[in-house]
Amino acid sequence: MVGWSKSNEKLNQFDFAFAGGASGFLTRAVCQPLDVLKIRFQLQVEPISHHPQHASKYRSIFQAVELIFKEEGIKAFWKGHIPAQWLSISYGVAQFWAFEVLSRNAHALNYSPKMKPVVNFTCGSIAGSVATVVSFPFDVVRTRFVAQSEQKKVYHGMVAACKEICAKEGPIVLFRGLWPTVLQIGPHAGAQFMCYKLFDDLYRYIIKTENTTLSSSLFAGSLSGLCSKAFIYPFDLVKKRLQIQGFHHAREHFGQTFHCKGLTDCFLKIYHVEGFPGYFKGLSPSLIKAVCATALHFSSYEMVCKLLVISRDTH
């Protein structure tokens, strides 16, 4: 169903947008705790260490889960869930809508089958970039909610957070970190769609079926998420560091604060203070999340599209 096929010819642009939004909603609801863990590790300046004198607050996935639960309660794993849902829904709508429209227009050009991976990568890159710009303010607000301490809350609601950020720091702050995000999302989304189609074709070839199934979608989605996330991870970390600039007063319970002036300065300071491993803090929960979220994201989109096709046939 993802990309042009005879089976989704009955679907229109609204159907693709609806399926993308539904997929984003479901994926976020299930995978939000992994995102919270990832962001906490990304924002931690201290090197991940178990040494008593230099121990970092978060040292492993299980230790972080236990500590967050102990200090902040179970609700902490869904911190920032409302802006995160707006982020996921708006991103899913824009991404899948743009990809399907671009795929249909590309199919009309009658390109060579050998060019299919390149076309999927290009359409995915453009779709991911469009979706990023549309949904980015929700990403900034979501990161602020996850970053703030329970002992010193600054924001108590999404609308209030947006108003306070705009009033105190200016509307442009809602797009802080957009540049490294676009640099990250372009190739990331392109690789996701390209790998998804490749792995889906491979799976269907092995089990000898022409139609995409739930199992093939889960298989292709999980592998595409793993492959694409591993290559662009440092940009994701830098984006999170940029998004909390000016917000350090709410993070006094999380250890050292990190100050930078822009993309290049952020990359250089991370290397100077934390070394090369600093670019990959939170990689483990991020990869787990990428595997789970991408598999769920694509498979739920496929299933919603199939349900929409069935409803067209019955009417």
Distance (Å) of CA 11 to CA 32, 111, 220: 30, 22, 23
Q: Top-level CATH class of 6-314?
A: mainly alpha
Tokens 């809350």 belong to which residue? 153
Q: What burial letters (b/e) apply to 249-271, b meaning 16+ CB within 10 Å? A: ebbeebeeebebeebeebbebbe
Q: How far apart are CA 229 and CA 290, in angstroms?
A: 7
Between 18 and 275, residue with greater pLDDT: 18
Q: How far apart are CA 226 and CA 234, in angstroms?
A: 15
Q: What per-residue confidence (pLDDT) applies to 84?
A: 82
Q: How far apart are CA 193 and CA 96, in angstroms?
A: 10
Q: 53-91: per-residue pLDDT in tens?
A: 556 788 888 888 888 888 888 888 887 788 888 889 999
Please return the burial class of 232, using the count of CB atoms within 10 Å of its CB with bins 0-12, 13-18 and 19+. middle
Q: What per-residue confidence (pLDDT) applies to 140?
A: 83
pLDDT band for position 192 (cuts 50, 70, 90)? very high
Q: 208-265: per-residue pLDDT in tens?
A: 887 778 888 999 999 999 888 877 888 888 887 887 776 655 555 556 777 777 788 8
Sketch the domain layout of the chain as residue ranges: 6-314
Between 196 and 146, residue with greater pLDDT: 196
Average pLDDT for 105-125: 88
CB atoms within 10 A of CB 66: 11
* HSE, side-chain direction, 13 A CA sphere, residue 61: 12
Q: Which of 36-50, 89-103, 162-176 has the lowest mean pLDDT?
A: 36-50
